[in-house]
Structure 1
Amino acid sequence: MENIKDKLTTCKLAGIQKSYELILEEARQNNMSYEDFFERLLDEELLSRDNNRFNRLMKKANFPNIKTLEQFNYARAPFVKKTDIASYAALEFIEQRKNIIFIGVQGTGKTHLSIGLGVEACKKGKSVLFTSAASLGNRLSEAQNENVMSKFLDRIKKVDLLIIDELGYVELPAATTNLMFQIFSERYEKGSIIVTTNLEFGEWTKVFHDQRMTTAIIDRLIHNCKIFSFDGPSYRLNDHVNLKSNSLKI
């Protein structure tokens, strides 16, 4: 048995190695054929590799927390149709290099749904990078200062799905927005972007400062894009008010 385990280690068949004894006992009890036994081992190895790949992709995605689409409470967000989100959870928009914009007030579920779609992408073996707009701006500035901008842009360009969260929550320096324009240009019709923002398009000049650059960014984003409007009340604020109200009653 140890000799078999050593060979499985040499061949890097960790999934089979982990489950070999259990599957062997199952095969003996059920008089499994050699072919069925071998197939069960292969199934276990493939499952192990899928799980490992998913864990690697989730780690690289850099999600601030894990939110799934199943956890989203659509009853508290009637302005978003579950069927619409479900259609995008199939991830055809990534294959078609489409963009998604979640636009509306803070606390209405934009970040939750963007992370949920990102998790679905990781499940399907897609590479994802999640970043706030402010964090992306800082990383771009650092990359420029360290003369590794080309390398950083290559990484951004290669991910299947880029999620930029909270665009408009923090005003960015003009130099930083010029660098961010490169991100939108590099991914135009080459890779999908999800953007969450609390600003209407007419207010995006507050972020990018220059009207012409703002127009160019919006043009690239909304071409081949689905825009979801989150125009309801903040459920995070409602939770806070309800919690405070209940505490006062105690």
Structure 2
Amino acid sequence: MSARSDEAAQASIGAAARELRLPTIRTEASRLAEIAARERQSYLVFLAEVLAAEVDDRGERRRTRRINDARFPRLKRLSEFNLDAAPSIQPAQLATLASGAYLDAGEPIVLLGDSGTGKSHLLIGLGLAACEQGRRVRYISTAQLVNELVEAADERILSRVVARYGRLDLLCLDELGYVQIDPRGAELLFQIITEREERASIALASNLPFSEWGTVFPDPRLVAAIVDRITFNAHIIETGTDSYRLRTSKAGNRRKRAS
């Protein structure tokens, strides 16, 4: 094949790939063609390689988009969690949750423990694992979600916002217990929880035991209803009271003094 016909073919591939929205084929076809010629691949093998490159790249783009849409404050993987620092957590339970079976069943996860014990790390790690399995995930603090719902109610778009949160495969709700929630905000949050009940999973992290959730929500009956829904068929993980961050800081200071 002449250089001129190669150039024409490349231009034709580029135009067709743009029309069909196949950006990887547009950019990789020439390189893969050179490899195919060098390795004397058949036409079918070359076509398979080109299509596989497009599929792989498209999957990676979807994965990146899902992670960006989840709005994690930072990326923390379950594999990076120091289980030695949290002896109360069973590795088998964490491995089971990482597989994502709880998502198919719409089961909740509740992470309870003091500040610095790894709740947010686990919450983000579970959310990231779900993203990589093709799930729709959103991470948000409890206070942020309540504020968003109040604004939506004021703007008369609450049903739209509740429906949007209802479509998620996993809602990661962090920092329940750090900020008191007024009656209106508590009722709006309850709508989100009810929307997802036994249908789509919530993973929730709190620094308070269930017995102290009454300090966050003003209505005892609403507290009971929220706890009832969030714990039904739930996977409950207690991260303990010993702050991993504090111990790490102290160990670092001791090493500095010793050096």
TM-score, L = length of structure 2: 0.93
Q: For residue 194 of structure 2, what is the aligned residue in structure 1?
A: 185
Q: What is the CA-CA distance between 1:167 and the residue it aligns to?
A: 0.5
Q: What is the CA-CA distance between 1:246 and the residue it aligns to?
A: 3.6
Q: For residue 214 of structure 1, what is the aligned residue in structure 2?
A: 223
* Match 1:21 to one of 22, 30, 46: 30
Q: Tell me which amino acid in the other structure corresponds to 1:229.
A: E
* Match 1:94 to one of 84, 95, 103: 103
Deviations, residues 152-171 of structure 1 (Å, cap 9, x unaligned): 10110000000000110111
Aligned length: 250
Q: Secondary structure at the match of 1:107?
A: coil
In structure 1, C-alpha distance between the alignment counterparts of 2:34 and 2:83, rounded to whole Å? 46
Backbone CA RMSD of aligned residues: 1.2
In structure 2, C-alpha distance between the alignment counterparts of 1:25 and 1:186, rounded to whole Å? 54
Whether 1:194 aligns to 2:169 is no
In structure 1, C-alpha distance between the alignment counterparts of 2:222 and 2:136, rounded to whole Å? 28
Whether 1:158 aligns to 2:162 is no
In structure 2, C-alpha distance between the alignment counterparts of 1:77 and 1:29, rounded to whole Å? 54
- Contact 1:101-1:225 at 8 Å conserved across structures: yes
In structure 1, C-alpha distance between the alignment counterparts of 2:253 and 2:152, rounded to whole Å? 44
In structure 1, C-alpha distance between the alignment counterparts of 2:212 and 2:103, rounded to whole Å? 27
Q: Tell me which amino acid in the other structure corresponds to 2:167.
A: K
Structure showing greater Rg: 2
In structure 2, C-alpha distance between the alignment counterparts of 1:235 and 1:34, rounded to whole Å? 57
- Contact 1:127-1:160 at 8 Å conserved across structures: yes
In structure 1, C-alpha distance between the alignment counterparts of 2:196 and 2:179, rounded to whole Å? 23
Whether 1:67 aligns to 2:86 is no
Q: Tell which deviates more after alignment, 15-24 or 149-158.
A: 15-24
Whether 1:134 aligns to 2:154 is no
Q: For residue 124 of structure 1, what is the aligned residue in structure 2?
A: 133
Q: Secondary structure at the match of 1:130?
A: strand
Moved over 3 A (4+): 244-250
Q: What is the CA-CA distance between 1:121 and the residue it aligns to?
A: 0.8
Q: What is the CA-CA distance between 1:19 and the residue it aligns to?
A: 1.7
Whether 1:43 aligns to 2:59 is no
Q: Secondary structure at the match of 1:171?
A: coil
Q: What is the CA-CA distance between 1:248 and the residue it aligns to?
A: 4.1
Q: Which runs of 5+ in 2 are unaligned?
A: 1-9
Q: Tell me which amino acid in the other structure corresponds to 2:70.
A: A
In structure 1, C-alpha distance between the alignment counterparts of 2:257 and 2:144, rounded to whole Å? 38
Q: Which runs of 5+ in 1 are unaligned?
A: none
In structure 1, C-alpha distance between the alignment counterparts of 2:49 and 2:105, rounded to whole Å? 36
Q: Percent identity?
A: 35
In structure 2, C-alpha distance between the alignment counterparts of 1:70 and 1:6, rounded to whole Å? 43
